[in-house]
Amino acid sequence: MDQAEATEKIVAALKKKAKTKSKFYFNDLAKILDEKPRAAKKFINAMVIDEVLEYWSSGSTSMYGLKGAGKQSAGEGED
Amino acid sequence: MAKFETPFLDQLETGPWPSFVSDLKQEAESRAKNERNIEYQIPQDCCDDLLGVVELSYKHGRTHWKHGGIVGVFGYGGGVIGRYCDQPEMFPGVAAFHTMRVNQPSGKFYTTKFLEDLCELWERRGSGLTNMHGATGDIIFLGTTTEQLEEVFWELGHNLNQDIGGSGSNLRTPSCCIGQARCEYACFDTQDICHDLTNEYQDELHRPAFPYKFKFKFDGCPNCCVASIARSDLSFIGTWRDDIRIDQKAVKAYIGGEFPPNAGAHAGRDWGPFDIQKEVIDLCPTKCMRYEDGKLEVNTPECTRCMHCINVMPRALRVGNDKGASLLVGAKAPILDGAQMATLLVPFIKIESPYTEIKETVIEPIWDWWMEEGKNRERLGELIKREGFQKVLEVTGFKADPRMIKEPRSNPYVFWKEDEVPGGFKRDINEFRKFHQR
Ligand code: HEM
Ligand code: HEM
Ligand code: SF4
Ligand code: SF4
């Protein structure tokens, strides 16, 4: 798999779930790519540098999302 | 004049200990006066607003902070912890009040100039409030706006030659005890390995790909000044293999009252004359010492290197000469599951630069396993509990050792696998029946 293919896979999968979910664990992304974590990490890092993905962090846990997707603090059925 | 009345917080100041409330008030006042004409890049009254929102939290009995967010510096997945106030109209000075973790120097040695530079930067671009140091060991910069994050990062990197630390699901800033720089108990150079691994694993520190946080801590001896055994996923604890070095003349000097025990640390009250039997020998956890005919002896194979005797009589007893470390895995604080102490994995290993053996046979195989098998938000210690200690031995290649077992069932319990047993698990039933009836 090359970078373009990996990006395409991730973007497609994340867009499909966008209605219900905007933040994903690293492992979820590795599963979408069907790669071992170390190999997946290279692709996913490149997607962050290319500003396709962005990090989200609670301080103790990190997640990834499509850039700009989901609000800073999603409403709880309010909007 | 304080911006808000803070009766609840004022009460906190009345206790016997120094109070963070007094510190906040001091900084609020100093910012209001601005005697050094600092060009504040975030609201000058942010510390007043912080006092206000904390006071309100006491009044309401609930927090007014939101946790987390999409803040950070470009390309880094850690080092910044987003904090937003949920009453931004009332407290605009802390509407965004993010924490930055700054990688502390190994062993926490500072020059005065470096400390002044850090404080100057943070007064100008942040709240001026710091926490030296956080639970991870980092220098904690408490409170700045989103716009200032890249600015602080740029100045740290370009002017102070200083990186930010770890947060989130990645390698946390490694931390070490003061070690050989000042402590004669240190069995390896804690600062050197801490610095080396921090540089080696920059990618793991800044780009989160772990199931959850991962911590290394380095203690030069079993006194465990950075509490590695309780607070890190991989703890390095200095130890030695040969005998404790005993200076019999100095032992006598302690008994004769010439040297104060514990280097005088318990001098606050009169404990009577030093009693080596009561205060040292009877307190040895493995009862492996004796004092007879004016001679102190230690039965080394029984000694667990608890450090008690050495701490009491540091001028008479010294750690051995054949030094290295024990490596333990899986400690954690009680967030998801209960608190857990670390379990011994490597009874003894020499700690020598460039640490290749440690990287290749311990750290990296463990990470590969945990990254693949670990569930989201599962610490290494929890994975070990779930899949068994045997899996750790399998992925690292270390052999099971009685020293790894504290007690059966509650702690690693190692089973044989069929290919490890001569002849496997199948037996010749006819041969068996020759000796045993049905
Ligand atoms: C009721 C309110 C709060 C709760 C329940 C809370 C809870 C927590 C917890 C559970 C952690 C540990 C996270 C981990 O490492 O896994 C943590 C860490 C932290 N929190 Fe909070 N927090 C609160 C308010 C705040 C506020 C108001 C601030 C800053 C203005 C703050 C700043 C931090 C920082 C800097 C750390 C990391 C400390 C370190 O590095 O040692 N927290 N908090
Ligand atoms: C050198 C001799 C022996 C050693 C090292 C030994 C060791 C052990 C160990 C480590 C366990 C597991 C304990 C646990 O998981 O809670 C165990 C269980 C057990 N042992 Fe032994 N044992 C020895 C001799 C014996 C003898 C002679 C008997 C009976 C005549 C015996 C009866 C049992 C029984 C019934 C259990 C099962 C307890 C249970 O799981 O409820 N053992 N043994
Ligand atoms: S852990 Fe041991 S070596 Fe390190 S500073 Fe403490 S007493 Fe000294
Ligand atoms: S270090 Fe601890 S176990 Fe070893 S001899 Fe001294 S008191 Fe006993």
Which pTM was predicted?
0.84
Residue where a domain terminates, one of B277, B299, B318: B318
- The per-residue b/e assignment along B290-308, b for 16 or more CB within 10 angstroms, e otherwise, is eeeeeebebeeeebebebb
Q: Is B165 inside any structural domain?
A: no
ipTM for the predicted complex: 0.88
Whether residues B231 and B262 share a domain: the answer is: no
Residue where a domain terminates, one of B296, B318, B340: B318
- How far apart CA B306 and CA B317 sit, in angstroms, is 13
Residue A8: which domain range? 3-67
State pLDDT tens for residues B104-150.
999 999 999 999 999 999 999 999 999 999 988 999 999 999 999 99
Closest CA in chain B for residue A67:
B70
State pLDDT tens for residues B394-411.
999 998 888 888 766 666
Query: Could you please report the per-residue DSSP string of B90-102?
Result: T-GGGSB--EEEE
Give the mean model confidence (pLDDT) for residues B425-429.
Answer: 87
Residues 6+ apart with CB under 8 A from B130: B118, B119, B122, B139, B140, B141, B142
Q: Is B169 inside any structural domain?
A: no
Q: Is the separation of the CB atoms in B207 and A45 below 8 Å?
A: yes
Answer yes or no: is pLDDT of B224 > 60: yes
What pLDDT does residue B413 have? 63
Answer yes or no: is pLDDT of A79 > 60: no
B168 lines ligand 1 (CB under 6 A): no
Select from B209, B372, B377 the Cβ nearest to the Cβ of A61.
Answer: B377
Do A55 and B72 make contact, defined as CB atoms within 8 angstroms? yes
Whether residues B338 and B227 share a domain: the answer is: yes
State pLDDT tens for residues B189-215.
999 999 999 999 999 999 999 999 999
CATH number of the domain to which A47 belongs? 1.10.10.10
Q: Which of B239, B277, B305 has the most ligand 4 atoms within 8 A of CB, as the residue to mutate?
A: B305
Residues of chain B with Cβ-Cβ distance to A28 below 8 Å are 376
Give the mean model confidence (pLDDT) for residues B62-91.
Answer: 91
B303 lines ligand 4 (CB under 6 A): yes
Q: How far is B138 from chain A (nearest CA, A)?
A: 14
Residues of chain A with Cβ-Cβ distance to B66 below 8 Å are 73
How many independent structural domains does chain A possess? Answer: 1
Would you call A6 helix, strand, or coil by DSSP? Answer: helix
Q: Is A76 inside any structural domain?
A: no
Do B72 and A57 make contact, defined as CB atoms within 8 angstroms? yes
A19 touches chain B (CB under 8 A): no
Residues of chain A with Cβ-Cβ distance to B168 below 8 Å are 55, 57-62
Do B212 and A61 make contact, defined as CB atoms within 8 angstroms? yes
Whether residues B73 and B114 share a domain: the answer is: yes
Select from B68, B375, B376 the Cβ nearest to the Cβ of A58.
Answer: B68
What separation in Å is there between the alpha carbon of B246 and the centre of ligand 1?
Answer: 47
Q: Both tokens of residue B209?
A: 């790909």
Give the mean model confidence (pLDDT) for residues B371-381.
Answer: 94
Report CA-CA distances (Å) from B76 to B145, B201, B366. Answer: 17, 14, 23
Whether residues B233 and B342 share a domain: the answer is: yes
CATH number of the domain to which B298 belongs? 3.30.70.20
Give the mean model confidence (pLDDT) for residues B154-174.
Answer: 96
Atom of ligand 2 minimally distant from the CA of B413: 15
State pLDDT tens for residues B275-294.
999 999 999 999 999 999 99
Q: Is B137 inside any structural domain?
A: yes
How many independent structural domains does chain B possess? Answer: 3
Residues of chain A with Cβ-Cβ distance to B72 below 8 Å are 55, 57
Q: Is A25 inside any structural domain?
A: yes
Cβ count near B229 (within 10 Å):
19
Q: Is B14 inside any structural domain?
A: yes
Q: Best residue in A34, A61, A66, A78 to probe B by mutation, most B CBs within 10 Å?
A: A61
Residue B133: which domain range? 7-158
Q: Is A45 inside any structural domain?
A: yes
Q: Is B2 inside any structural domain?
A: no
Whether residues B388 and B261 share a domain: the answer is: no
Residues of chain B with Cβ-Cβ distance to A74 below 8 Å are none
Whether residues B51 and B105 share a domain: the answer is: yes
Q: Which of A23, A21, A78, A54 is nearest to B80 (CA)?
A: A54
Answer yes or no: is pLDDT of A53 > 80: yes
Whether residues B51 and B192 share a domain: the answer is: no
Lowest mean pLDDT of A68-77, B16-25, B336-345, B389-398, name the range. A68-77
Residue where a domain terminates, one of B255, B289, B318: B318
Answer yes or no: is pLDDT of B268 > 90: no
Answer yes or no: is pLDDT of B7 > 50: yes
Whether residues B102 and B34 share a domain: the answer is: yes
Do B167 and A41 make contact, defined as CB atoms within 8 angstroms? no
Nearest ligand, CA B179: 3
Nearest ligand, CA B411: 2
pLDDT band at A78 (very low <50, low <70, confident <90, very high): low
What pLDDT does residue B223 have? 98
Whether residues B31 and B146 share a domain: the answer is: yes
pLDDT band at A73 (very low <50, low <70, confident <90, very high): very low
Q: What is the mean pLDDT of chain B?
A: 94
Using CB atoms within 10 A of its CB, is residue B362 exposed (0-12), middle (13-18) or buried (19+)? buried
Q: Is A50 inside any structural domain?
A: yes
CATH number of the domain to which B190 belongs? 3.30.413.10
State pLDDT tens for residues A34-50.
999 989 999 999 999 99
Whether residues B252 and B281 share a domain: the answer is: yes
Q: Which of B377, B393, B388 is nearest to B210 (CA)?
A: B377
Q: Is the peptide bond before B354 cis (omega within 30 degrees of 0)?
A: yes
Q: Angle at the Cα of B341 (from B209 to B343), degrees rounded to 5?
A: 80
Whether residues B153 and B29 share a domain: the answer is: yes
Q: Is B201 inside any structural domain?
A: yes
State pLDDT tens for residues B235-260.
999 999 999 999 999 999 999 999 99
Q: Is B167 inside any structural domain?
A: no
Whether residues B286 and B411 share a domain: the answer is: no
CATH number of the domain to which B128 belongs? 3.30.70.2500
Q: Is B383 inside any structural domain?
A: yes
